[in-house]
Chains A and B, each alone.
Chain A
């Protein structure tokens, strides 16, 4: 050998191609009969090993009060805190002096799903949702207006683990 490489002598059971082959064949055959881990997505959306976390932050949902009006009071905190600047809010006021959103739009393409809007909302009106099936045929369908946000029915995110709120 040109350079001094030390080659260690290994025991026979490690160098035998024959034994390794047979062992491998036995292993693959045993896997052939084992239960499969595949989750068949459109039919099964969760299995006993995996469900979507309740802390999942997906597309938004606006909660409504008993009369079906959005809980939002147009305070302007969510567009203020939004790091992606994806919330468009034009506040309005009725004759009794109650503020409400004239326009409330979220551009889901710009949204980074940080969940700050839900955290900052004093009325617990805007929420990020536990939802991920958002396909649309056109890009402009991804700007969700107030009506659409209020019509969403999927569960809302808990943002933190209820049993461990500080993440300790």
Chain B
């Protein structure tokens, strides 16, 4: 028991610091990738290649004045960044990030808390993040902040449904909500991205909206709302919103890697999961997990600096009229397919089942892409065509 408490405390400490450092480096990466995509160099002055820029930014944020609007609701105004910040960091707790680490006193699973309800916990905690944004918008007593908060709440609640629905497909296939079990299933054969391609696409798009990233960053929309919900925030309070946004991004990327890309699994080998756990395995699988997560983080940044922002009605139309029906329909089709393969044919999850489902996905993807390709799907209040 002492060992469990001690190892958990160490894991909490290490994971917390890794995320904070990761988030700090992420802000630099975002700025540099943005610059490179615009044929610029980006911040490269503080330290080699600007590696200490986040430290300089952090120091600046500590030293800046904490403004507090005269008419703001002081208590909620202070509470909002905390409510936004804490769930963003909490969600990472159930994501396994490496193979178990053997120590002299026993094997430590490389996940802060391998909750049996794993995935449900993530859905529950990540939806708390919207409170922080709404409270920030409300307590600032500023019309732009309020509009940003309203938009954020509507957007995050809408896309949460599509996000949850797309993950139901994973749970159908894995038959389990514990993330370590989901990973174990994928290690035994193929990654879930093959049998669940469409679910992955829906998850990816919804995750962009959930984390308020472009092209869905309407809560911030500087062109219309100045900075949205964090207009009135300065110094460290603002920084906390910023960290929350980026750690949400890390969590969403890690979740995509876990649910669809095998978590810390190394493809085409069973060396990492079979046999005795070793320190080397832990390190290599940690790197594999890091690489997968990094890929999605990079994609986030890449999308951000490519796509323009949606109009609000387009955002809502995409969420409610495209993604949600699609996710529901997909669950229905997939549930039938899984039932058929599992009960009628009698296969357990393995390469055969994965490939059959992949074929089904491709068959569904063709009409879906054809339908999406006709355009005007997200045009919302587009006028009727006259001839």
Tell me the A residues contacting B by CB distance below 8 Å.
Answer: 1, 4-7, 9, 12, 14-19, 21, 24-25, 27-29, 31-32, 34-38, 40
- Expressed in whole angstroms, the Cα–Cα distance for A25 and B305 within the complex equals 9
List 24 A-B residue pairs with CB atoms under 8 Å apart, sorted by A's residue number.
Answer: A1-B384, A4-B386, A6-B386, A7-B384, A7-B385, A9-B385, A9-B387, A12-B375, A14-B375, A15-B375, A16-B373, A18-B369, A19-B373, A21-B306, A21-B307, A27-B306, A28-B302, A28-B306, A31-B36, A32-B33, A36-B35, A36-B39, A37-B40, A38-B40
Contacts of A36 in B (CB 8 A): 35-36, 39-41
By the criterion CB–CB under 8 Å, are B375 and A32 in contact?
A: no
The answer, among A17, A28, A35, for a CB contact under 8 Å with B37, is A28
Q: Report chain B residues within 8 Å CB of A37.
A: 39-40
Chain B residue, CB-CB nearest to A19: B373
Interface of B is mostly: loop
Contact of B46 with A by CB under 8 A: no
Contact in complex: A17, B41 (CB < 8 Å) = no
B30 smallest CB distance to A (angstroms): 13
Chain B window 358-387, contacts with chain A (Cβ cutoff 8 Å), 1 for yes, 0 for no: 000000000001001111111000011111
Chain B neighbourhood of A17, CB < 8 A: 372, 375, 377-378
CB distance from A13 to the nearest CB of B (A): 9
Residues of B within 8 A of A32 (CB): 33, 36-37
Which residues from B are CB-within-8-Å of A40?
A: 41
In the complex, A9→B384 CA distance in Å? Answer: 11
CA distance A24 to B214 in the complex (A): 14
Determine how close the nearest CB of chain B comes to the CB of A130; give it in whole angstroms.
26
Q: Give the docked Cα–Cα distance between A4 and B58 (Å).
A: 56
Interface assignment of B21: CB less than 8 Å from any CB of chain A: no
B372 touches A34 (CB 8 A): no
B103 within 8 A of A: no
Chain A residues near B307: list those with CB within 8 A: 21, 24
Residues on the B chain within 8 Å of A7, using CB: 383-386
**Bound-state Cα–Cα, A24 to B155, Å:** 25
Chain A residues whose CB sits within 8 angstroms of the CB of B332 once the complex forms? none
Kindly state the separation between the CA atoms of A21 and B377 in the bound complex, as whole angstroms: 14
Q: In whole angstroms, what is the CA distance A1 to B386 when docked?
A: 9
